[in-house]
Amino acid sequence: MMKCKQATQMLSEKLDRPLSNKEKINLAMHTAICSPCRQFGRQMETLRELSKSYTKAKEPEEK
Amino acid sequence: MTNANISVEMAPSEAESIFQDVAFTKALRTQMLKFAKLQVRDSQLAEDAVQEAMLSAYQHIDRFARQAAFKTWVFSILKNKLIDLLRKEKRHTAASQLEEGPNLSGDALIEHLFEENGHWQQDERPKKWDQPDHDVENDDFWRIFDACLEALPAKYGRLFMMREFLEMDTPEICHNEEVSVSSLNVTLYRARLRLRECLEDHWFQKETS
């Protein structure tokens, strides 16, 4: 059974390479029962979206 | 034709007004410079890249009548310039030669976050982030985000920004930085772990902690 340590690494690598079917199944089995890792997965997606909006963000007002 | 270069002067006035809006141009320049400096850790190179990007943009200003579209576009020019710079800079400071930073070349962070059995430490379990999409509009959020990025060890920050800001793909980063795919994946993982931790501690859980 996959542990949180491996699961979080998979959730990060998912953003950089396609996971194998075996990895996907193991990860899905883990996240089905592990709410912190589910949060972590969502947050990885959020980090990506935030990085994309970095250059679109409202610039701080120069005072 | 001698007037081939004067198309800029003949641009529609609403487009030109983008550059005439001093407050907009100044703020944009500041933001671009900050973005460039984060990635190219050399102020002069960063200044030059921003200057060139602004100039390219000015030369084609007639295509952009709206500030928002203009901004997205000028940043895409800047990103390409930064990618070029990083490619040229390769031989001087490939990420393979950068410091991992204190406490990080080892597995200190991982040990801190996870129990020996591979599960989350109780206190370190990720909490729900409320409405991160709202924070995009918040200057304070971006200040924290910057601080967290800058707190990353040089190697982590550089590879993370190549991947997420410049949107380079894995093979290109590996080639440019002389790192293996597995090492890149691990570095990105650790960069994200740290960034996540930093944002959670300093932003998302700030009120409740």
The token pair that represents B47 in the structure block: 């200044």
Domain locations along chain A: 22-51
Mean pLDDT of B21-44: 86
Q: Domain for residue B180, yes or no?
A: yes
pLDDT band, very low/low/confident/very high, at B52 (cuts 50, 70, 90): very high
> What letter represents residue B106's amino acid?
G
**Higher pLDDT, residue A56 or A42:** A42
Render pLDDT for B98-123 as a digit per residue (tens, 0 to 9).
555 544 444 778 888 999 899 999 98
> Which range of residues forms the domain containing residue B67?
2-93
Per-residue pLDDT, B114: 92
ipTM: 0.90
Per-residue pLDDT, B98: 54
Instruction: Report the run of H or E that residue B34 belongs to, with start and end.
Output: helix B22-39
Q: Domain for residue B173, yes or no?
A: yes
Q: Alpha helix (H) ranges present in chain A?
A: 4-13, 21-33, 35-53
Q: Domain for residue B107, yes or no?
A: yes
Asked if the Cβ–Cβ distance from B110 to A5 is below 8 Å, we say yes
Rounded percentage of chain B residues whose pLDDT exceeds 70 = 81
Asked if the Cβ–Cβ distance from A39 to B128 is below 8 Å, we say yes
Q: State the nearest Cα–Cα gap between A34 and chain B, in angstroms.
A: 10
Which residues in chain B are contacts of A18 at CB distance < 8 A? none
CATH of the domain at B75: 1.10.1740
Give the long-range contacts of residues A17-22, CB within 8 A, separation 24 or more: A17/B170, A17/B181, A17/B185
> What letter represents residue B64's amino acid?
F
DSSP secondary-structure letter at A55?
G
B170 shares its domain with B71: no
| Cβ(B192)–Cβ(B160) below 8 Å | yes
- Phi/psi of residue B55, nearest 5 degrees: -65, -50
C-alpha A30/C-alpha B40 separation (Å) is 39
Per-residue pLDDT, B12: 53
C-alpha B53/C-alpha B30 separation (Å) is 13
pLDDT band, very low/low/confident/very high, at A41 (cuts 50, 70, 90): very high
pLDDT band, very low/low/confident/very high, at B209 (cuts 50, 70, 90): very low
